[in-house]
Amino acid sequence: MRKKEWIAMLLAGGQGSRLYSLTKNLAKPAVPFGGKYRIIDFPLSNCVNSGIDTVGVLTQYQPLVLNEYIGSGQPWDLDRQEGGVFVLPPYQKSSGSDWYTGTANAIYQNLPFIERYDPEYVLILSGDHIYKMDYEKMLKFHKEKEADCTIAVLQVPMEEASRFGIMNAYDDGQIYEFEEKPANPKSNLASMGIYIFSWNKLREYLEKDAKTPGSANDFGKNIIPNMLAAHERMYAYAFDGYWKDVGTIDSLWEANMDLLDPKVPLSLYDPEWKIYARNPALPPHYIAPGAVVQNSMITEGCVIEGTVDFSVIFAGVTIEEGAVVRDSIIMPGSVVKKGAVVDYTIVAEQAVIGENAVIGARPEKMENISEWGVTVIGNGVTIGAGVNIAPKSMVETDITAEEVQGK
């Protein structure tokens, strides 16, 4: 195997429990996003566009959809003669077998994979952020600073800084302190969960960490603090583009809506920085004579007969006559039947919203705004005709009109 300058390791094992029913049968990075993508398309496309040709994807929670989706890596141009994309689940070794116990442990268990390429640098990514970033610029910065570890950071509003891992750094970017969700933040440089390590250093700390009893085997909790404590050269690389953690229902909804806002600096139209995805073979979408579609994104295979406003409609969705979908996200293959009204809702894949059903509500219509929130209809769920689903609900099983009447 030829030596590679750098490779990427993408942490995709998280359950994403704060996405509730959306990740019941699906790892978080496989959650559909932006009309035709899945979350993982963003870091994978960033890798390819940054010139990285070898990516290990570490999976352990519900990997089926993700495995199938990644396949040979061809949609991202990652089907390579040497390198390419590899799905790396935990595996059995002669010394026993373990699940990945933490982010650092996942990388540690795959030391042999990384060693095959003998890289100078390893880029560590997570599979739950939406952003476009040229990692090559970050690598250049890492080399210029002769850093051992470079952490991408984003300036967040000071009042929100206590929700993030905060890097306190000198003017030249050298980090002197790391605080996880500080009550009184000293800076607003939030870690984006994107790290470049010089491989020799990282291997040293991974091996040390693996021998430390009681360690959480986590980058944020163990590796980064340990390296800081040992005065390794750690630098903060400032990123100023769009970046969003889509780990919660609200943030996932917001990030989708951001795509509809021309003021949000995340353009997916840049031909030089395409976001790649596995494409279904469907005809263009059809907008019927009675339809009203504005301020929305719609992709192939859809049939729209109703009204769609401020919504993101994924492949193969049908919205029947008289149905109204506003401020919502309808994932692949779902059907919104005649006369149904869907407001501020995420409808997962292959769900059916029955005729005249009312899903979610508009915040301005609420008497008590604290009862309002984004509604979620889970994968494959069928909502019966005329059923009313309250805002903020998470529906994981079918609900028929009879059941509602019986209550």
Q: How far apart are CA 234 and CA 232, in angstroms?
A: 6
Using rule CB under 8 A, residue 281 touches another protein = yes
Minimum distance, C-beta of residue 1 to another protein, in the bound complex (Å): 23
Rank residues 228 and 264 by Cβ distance to another protein and give the closer one.
Answer: 264
Closest CA to 3 of 83, 57, 80: 83
How many Cα atoms are found within 13 Å in the side-chain-facing hemisphere of 160?
7
Using rule CB under 8 A, residue 124 touches another protein = no
Find how far residue 189's CA is from the centre of its chain.
21
Which pairs from 333-338 meet CB under 8 Å and 24+ separation? 336/306, 337/385
DSSP for residue 158? G
CB 345 within 8 A of CB 378: no
Q: Which of 257, 298, 319, 361 binds another protein (CB under 8 A)?
A: 298
Using rule CB under 8 A, residue 87 touches another protein = no
161-190 residues in contact with another protein (CB under 8 A) are none
Binding piece for another protein, criterion CB under 8 A, among 237-245, 306-314, 337-345, 398-406? 306-314
Binding piece for another protein, criterion CB under 8 A, among 19-27, 148-156, 192-200, 280-288? 280-288
**What DSSP line would sit under 166-202, residue for residue?**
EEEE-TTSBEEEEEES-SS-S--EEEEEEEEEEHHHH
Minimum distance, C-beta of residue 331 to another protein, in the bound complex (Å): 13
Classified as helix, coil or strand, 88 is: strand
Using rule CB under 8 A, residue 279 touches another protein = yes
Binding piece for another protein, criterion CB under 8 A, among 57-65, 147-155, 282-290, 352-360? 282-290
Using rule CB under 8 A, residue 288 touches another protein = yes
Give the Cβ contact number of residue 237 at 10 Å: 25
Q: Which amino acid is at 366?
A: M
Using rule CB under 8 A, residue 263 touches another protein = no
Using rule CB under 8 A, residue 312 touches another protein = yes
Rank residues 45 and 103 by Cβ distance to another protein and give the closer one.
Answer: 45
Find how far residue 333's CA is from the centre of its chain.
21
Q: Which of 158, 292, 362, 397 binds another protein (CB under 8 A)?
A: 292
Minimum distance, C-beta of residue 269 to another protein, in the bound complex (Å): 6
Residues whose CB is less than 8 angstroms from the CB of residue 129 and which lie 6 or more positions away in sequence, other chains included = 39, 42, 43, 192, 193, 243, 244, 245, 246
Site string for another protein, 213-252 (x = CB under 8 A): ----------------------------------------
Q: Which of 108, 195, 276, 372 binds another protein (CB under 8 A)?
A: 276
Minimum distance, C-beta of residue 153 to another protein, in the bound complex (Å): 28
Give the Cβ contact number of residue 358 at 10 Å: 18
Q: Which of 291, 385, 394, 404 binds another protein (CB under 8 A)?
A: 291
Using rule CB under 8 A, residue 326 touches another protein = no
Rank residues 312 and 324 by Cβ distance to another protein and give the closer one.
Answer: 312
Q: Which of 14, 16, 29, 34 binds another protein (CB under 8 A)?
A: 34
CB 211 within 8 A of CB 104: no
**What DSSP line would sit under 344-398, residue for residue?**
SEEE-TT-EE-TT-EES--GGG-SSGGG---EEE-TT-EEPTT-EE-TT-EE-S-
Using rule CB under 8 A, residue 44 touches another protein = no
Query: Interface with another protein by CB under 8 A: which residues?
Result: 34-36, 74-75, 260, 268-269, 274-277, 279, 281-300, 303, 308, 312-313
